[in-house]
Structure 1
Amino acid sequence: MDVNRRELLRSIAAGAVGTQAVGTAGATGKTGELAFGEYIVSFADEAGYSKALALAASVLDEIDFGDRIGGAMLGRFPEQALRALAKHPAVKYVEENGRMEAIGGSMPWGIERVGARTAHALGETGGSVHVAVVDTGIDSDHPDLQANLGSGKSYIRCLPCGVDNACTETWDDDVGHGTHVAGTIAAVANDRGVVGVAPSVTLHAVKVLNCEGWGFYWDIGRGIKYAARQGWDVVNLSIGGADSSFIRDAVEFAASKGVVLVGAAGNDGPCSDCVTYPAAYPEVIGVSATDSEDGLADFSATGSGVDFAAPGVRVHSTVAGGGYGYYNGTSMACPHVTGAMAVLLAAGHSPASAELALQQTAEDVGLDWLEQGFGLVNVDGALGIEGSLGTPPTAATNQPTRITETAARLAATVTDLGSADSVTVSFEWGVAGTELARTTPRVSVSATETVELSITGLVSGETYEYRAVAEGDGERSTGETRSFTTVVVTPEPPAVTTDLPSDVTATSATLHGTLDAVGTDDAVEVFFLYGPNGNLGQSSERQSLDAATAFAIPVTGLLPDTRYDVVAVASWSDGVVYAWDVHSFGTTR
């Protein structure tokens, strides 16, 4: 295995851009649960294979990576046999069959941030390139992906676990992770949903993770080899786990076939030198995650295995079931680089020259080398077309004002008109955690100034998110996403007082009370509970009042020469309120 690939490439790029090279990865990852009794035995030659075959209690599968790497067997072995195989000179390694996991109509901010919008405008969209997504599968019916879907392969059964997506194909997505990754790579430009970095590539789903988002080494390794044997150009690996000799062999095999492999750095951050595998292997381009302010995402792993940074916070993309969603993770950063490599390959670059072009033009966003590698990937810069279109305007999203239980005023400051004489400013907004699907009217400005727009119809106590959108001269940019919570209205009950009755006879009386406060409701109903000798079991007629005032209600059918108790009551939306004072009166003979 060429363990110096990453170090060598960094040295080459360093000569061009003046960046210090860093050594190879030495990161560790989390160990997953193991398939009971299943082990992988790798052999260098026929003698090793024969020994493994003789000692196996049962053989489940075999794979051949060629003469240089060797082959492997998945099987069940007695403990004594495993010890013997580990010592055999023709056996390369013996390891448990562990597992790896998925690392957790507008153009998404990440696609714009990596410069793909300019590339799209000039026709650089990745046509003729084939990209394999080794993951949970891809939604075969998604309207943003159908046009780009090629063939697929499944190494694990499609069985939806809470995802509303039919398993039309064996490689369909029963989680949503692989579909989100695929959308960032290649969602088509169809005036709906989202657009990917390389919207003209052909996508291939290689399903190796189950409906809980994890898969065994054996299936993942077979999936990587399968993609390489098909001659597909780029493999996206938004998966991660501990170091596996078998996965390393599969990665080395794919690299030997000229396949570009891109992997997610992992979500174990904040941490140092913690890049997960397979991203930490030198043959794999490792990607860390940044936020919309170009800061390192707080969950992103870092270390010498990081080659590039890309957007990974609130990434908007396709999800299983035909919809769209916002995900966070280095899994979401990884496909930005996969798409960038696809665009460069389609433009005529070789895998090596494409990676070098990205290295030499990556944007230094002020992070440490172990956090950003060469920097934030820059598609248009790598293509040599950066700045060939108009300069986009910019607008900063300001804090909201005049927040009530049902309304708020949003604000943004136009900080740069770009190449336009005038720009329009609007806001995209929605309930926090959902798509910012609602938009305000556009306001036209011709100078750097602050724009305020109100939104109404909000729900009390709900949290909303919003961002400014600036458009002009065919260019568009979005500001930082902010949030606010509407005012929570605390219900206030009405207040009543019982007053002395009047017009008392042997069988009737007029009961009196005062509504001291209406409370939160627009109107309340008032009445009396009364009865002889402390038994308040009778109820008077009711009156509806919308303001504080005295009220009187006559009652009849009383018993002569009897003592009655009475209390005023107000009924409101949250129940009833009783007066503190209970009055007594006696009827006449």
Structure 2
Amino acid sequence: MTDPAYSRRGVLRAVGSGFAAGSLATVGSGTGAATPTADEPVTVNVGYASASGRNATLARASTVQYEFGFDALTVQLPESEIDALAARRDVQYVEENRALGGGITPRIHPRQQVDGQRVPYGVSVTGADVAAEQGYTGSGANVAILDTGIDSTHPDLAANLGRGAAFVPGISDIEEFDFPPGQDDDLLVSHGTHVAGVVGGIDNDIGVVGVSPAATLHAVKVLVGVFGGGSVAGVAAGVEFVADRGWDVANLSLGEAERSEMLADAVADAHERGVLLVAAAGNDGVLESDPPASDGGSTVSYPAAFEDVVAVGTTDRNDDLAAFSSVGPEIDLVAPGTGVLSAALPINIYSNVEQPVHRYIRLSGTSFAAPHVAGAGALLMSDAGLSNVEARERLRESAADVDLSENEGGSGRLDVAAALGVDAT
């Protein structure tokens, strides 16, 4: 299916392959797929301009999945009702509740045994280790990891974990273990656990240490399953959850190519309420995209591409732009994101089975550059007392010049020590 183009008053006209209620599976319209009837129930995101628009949406809905504080709903309704609803003056948009997932570069890496404690290169090259020696550890900061969850038994993460929550249609692969909702990473996945280790791996003489090793990490589960599948509405609900609790930073190592008005509303609302939102720019860079990104063009995914979100691209150990890193004028910063050593579940799909008990792995992707910046934001908002707006500006002003164009690297490579005014020499 070709995704329809949306505007603030966009009309969803091609929803035959949208999402079934309570499912992340796409109802296809290809060979063997059933042809939807005019009253096929579809799940849509609706933004309304007044109470009458809300009431009109609820009157047509068979199921309400989410009701947001920023004047939006996610509902299931008959396809035949969509055009009439979208045509109302008191309805701002009607859009498909599309899929949205996390992403890494598809390379297999063995799990590693880590003797003692290592300072990953991303922590050292940005000067976060020097900042920690000066007392900048993120104590008191609250960082939400909107991802697949966090392994609550990991020795580098367990002591720093806060509240868990889940915004996915089902968590069948971990429900039987009766873990706290959203707290534990999906079996075999480990994406959120790896991201959490980059942000706030504990300084405890074992494993790895993160950028903000004393921050509280909150697992907000918005992705599920081995392919990292989630929905726009689920991510929007997770973002609102973070804002409702007044947490400092939200890391979103996830994305989609198409703009969503609901997600735009969610991040604007959270930004207004003081959350520093940091997102992976995407892995569709100059050498990876098809067709290739042109000069001045953009391959940055959403939510990173939104104005209220810090968009993070990836550099390698030599401060060169990673070939997979998305580019575009929306990029704020770049940060280390190739071969990043961090926490992992004992068994996960990204690694081989040679050493199943080792709980560390190297992964590459903008997914793992973003948490370096999220950790730095936590330091600035807790230890330096900056607001989300001030922290973003400080991160830009203090970034290291690594000879990348603005489209490639934004303001430059993250420099945690410089952002905190710490002498890294």
TM-score greater than 0.5 by the shorter chain: yes
Deviation at 1:78, TM superposition (A): 2.7
2:118 & 2:197 partners in 1: Cα distance? 13
Report whether the alignment pairs 1:346 with 2:390. Answer: no
- With over 3 angstroms needed to count, the CA separation of the structure-2 counterparts of 1:282 and 1:98, relative to structure 1, is same
Deviation at 1:160, TM superposition (A): 4.1
Letter in 2 for 1:61: Q
Instruction: Work out which of the two has the higher radius of gyration on C-alpha atoms and give 1 or 2.
Output: 1
Letter in 2 for 1:70: D
- In the other structure, the counterpart of 1:98 is 98
Deviation at 1:168, TM superposition (A): 2.6
SS across alignment from 1:239:
coil
The structure 1 residue matched to 2:63, chosen from 59, 62, 69, is 59
Letter in 2 for 1:318: A
Report whether the alignment pairs 1:210 with 2:224. Answer: yes
Task: State TM-score, norm by structure 1.
Answer: 0.58
Letter in 2 for 1:255: H
What number of residue pairs does the alignment pair up? Answer: 349
Unaligned runs of 5+ in 1: 1-30, 392-589
Percent identical among aligned pairs is: 41
- In the other structure, the counterpart of 1:281 is 306
- In the other structure, the counterpart of 2:79 is 78
- In the other structure, the counterpart of 2:18 is 34
Going by fraction, where is helix more abundant, 1 or 2? 2
- In the other structure, the counterpart of 2:202 is 188
1:166 & 1:367 partners in 2: Cα distance? 47
Report whether the alignment pairs 1:49 with 2:63. Answer: no
- With over 3 angstroms needed to count, the CA separation of the structure-2 counterparts of 1:160 and 1:320, relative to structure 1, is farther
SS across alignment from 2:235:
helix
Alignment of 1:171-250 (within 5 A): 171=182, 172-174=184-186, 175-212=189-226, 213-241=228-256, 242-250=258-266
Letter in 1 for 2:88: H
1:52 & 1:300 partners in 2: Cα distance? 40
1:317 & 1:34 partners in 2: Cα distance? 36
Letter in 2 for 1:103: G
Alignment of 1:143-182 (within 5 A): 143-156=155-168, 157-160=170-173, 168-171=179-182, 172-174=184-186, 175-182=189-196
- With over 3 angstroms needed to count, the CA separation of the structure-2 counterparts of 1:44 and 1:356, relative to structure 1, is same
Deviation at 1:256, TM superposition (A): 1.4
Unaligned runs of 5+ in 2: 1-14, 21-41, 105-116, 287-292, 347-357
- In the other structure, the counterpart of 2:360 is 324
Cα RMSD of the aligned pairs, angstroms, is 1.8
- In the other structure, the counterpart of 1:108 is 120
The structure 1 residue matched to 2:416, chosen from 372, 376, 379, is 379
Deviation at 1:159, TM superposition (A): 4.1
1:293 & 1:364 partners in 2: Cα distance? 13
1:323 & 1:158 partners in 2: Cα distance? 22
1:110 & 1:94 partners in 2: Cα distance? 41
2:321 & 2:177 partners in 1: Cα distance? 37
After superposition, give the CA deviation of every residue in 1:134-183 in whole Å (9 maximum; x if it has no partner): 1101111111001100111012333449xxx9663221101210110000
1:238·1:264 contact (CA, 8 Å) conserved in 2? yes
2:284 & 2:72 partners in 1: Cα distance? 32
Alignment of 1:404-443 (within 5 A): none
2:421 & 2:172 partners in 1: Cα distance? 45
2:199·2:210 contact (CA, 8 Å) conserved in 1? yes
2:45·2:72 contact (CA, 8 Å) conserved in 1? no
Deviation at 1:126, TM superposition (A): 0.5
Deviation at 1:361, TM superposition (A): 1.2
Letter in 1 for 2:65: D
1:43·1:91 contact (CA, 8 Å) conserved in 2? yes
2:216 & 2:279 partners in 1: Cα distance? 19
2:364 & 2:173 partners in 1: Cα distance? 22
Deviation at 1:359, TM superposition (A): 1.4
- In the other structure, the counterpart of 1:400 is none
